[in-house]
Structure 1
């Protein structure tokens, strides 16, 4: 007798699983569709009715409604399995309908992130080391020289790990373009931070890059680190300042601190630049405040706004010597000012300062 009950139980489970596939699928579809489209959960009673009807249809086709089966423990167990599977499928469909995004766009797909395995625990956000995996030629352009191709394949770029892949690709592309003077380059990253680079070498000299109505002029000067082609530059001359766009930056030499900078300037400024005995170069690239803050945090520095308690004359150099914090700017009703010496305040301004937490705390006490 126990063997007979066990056999009927197993047979009921088998028949219930066989018959309950279609009712469970329909229950999942109803739960997901109603929840996703209307935000409403299908009542459980409705699921029972639909599942029972479909199970009855399936059972009739399979010959399971024979009284010899339906009126035995086999039929009872099979019915319970069908109902439990239907309820479970409905519950899962309801959860998926609630969690599934209502709108899927190419932009949302594009903003995928890196795999956690490639993130190095450096600083607060970590960093990722991008490796060039494949280098391909651009159709319609000359192929890359073998030496340049090898350099690109050996390239490694470390970037903040909290950036989306699209931003990482942009930074790697800009890095490669400026470092190897490429005519065109595109970068595609996978989740393992492996880069596929499609690039073409420069086709000619600076003549192709000079904008209409401008002239190219080269100077030897101290060039700020990170200067890149296309950056806005200001050439400080003895008799004034000349504005232009960077066309190219020469490679540094071992025995010299200066580098050659080629800039596109207006025709009227060419002679002034060429005859100048000394040229001071200032570069204004693309705004990248987020990267700057990340670099400051990595070395233990913070940027804070500090209110001034009363009107006085503040000397940034003296404050730095006393507290160790550097005053970057003073913001008041008249706007933002970058002090180049002592500055008078009315008491309602704010200081924008950078320094260690202890230095900023000391500066706050001094100006309070």
Structure 2
């Protein structure tokens, strides 16, 4: 058989037997590169391609006796070369495709729609869009219907936003603005590319329900309301059916000499001090009752709500909030000339690596350690309490004694 004919036969056989190995090599290269970032070695591709091509060639040899003769050795070698070339090329293309295809495809990208250019306005050197509400304002399931005033405010309001943001972001900003400006409980908005919006909203939620603690009920009763009360005050209401203690939620009263419809929650300007007692925030406003005949709303336990509901009128007694014991203790210590100070044990100091008893802290420094942190906090530590660098100590004593102890700890 002539050499050119054998070469052509080899190319023909290589193409027939190399298609399937090339497809498999390309798919494997893509899968490995896309999911693992690993490239299959060329030797592995060669072995895999020859194995698959050998199976294909064997089947072809069984079907054609001419392929079985030894005179076609050149054709077989040529076919092997063609198979390897096709497989390596397909593998390189699959590997390249696996490296370029993005691994994270977000559905959000499909929603990043932008507005049409004909609705964009240039104002002050910036592009902006005016959102127009169309159709009826819908109600949200689970909420009461909107009032006519709220529907009119949404419909006739002027809503302008930057035009260089996606429509999804524009919908979020529009809903947030409606909630903040109209005090709506919830808003759902859909905006088209022409800046047309359809809105469904829920009316503002009542302020009283937000202040009722869990497990309690808010009940209103007529009474003479003391002046200067604020929300959160603890009061006791005396009725014919019994005495009930509760927390003040709201109150409305009017002085006899003034209009009875006057709001009892008048705003009083007071000076407020911080816990430190040094900085002040003057001019802060706090709702306070003006006093007089009216109705008071208190949060009471469920069992006591029935008692107030059965009473037409009650007497309001304001309960003392009391003083926190720790602040009272600090006041007593100051009056006695003692101070409370936090001291940290320093590495290499006299206290480092010793115990409270070994240093005879009370006798030597005339101070009392009321709490120590060595791995964990210990209140009123004993003499065997170890001390090491970094331990925090709360010490009570006079200013001079505390100064001496601080120098020793350092």
**TM interval, short-chain normalised:** 0.3 to 0.5
Q: TM-score, with normalisation over the residues of structure 2?
A: 0.35
Which has the larger Rg? 2
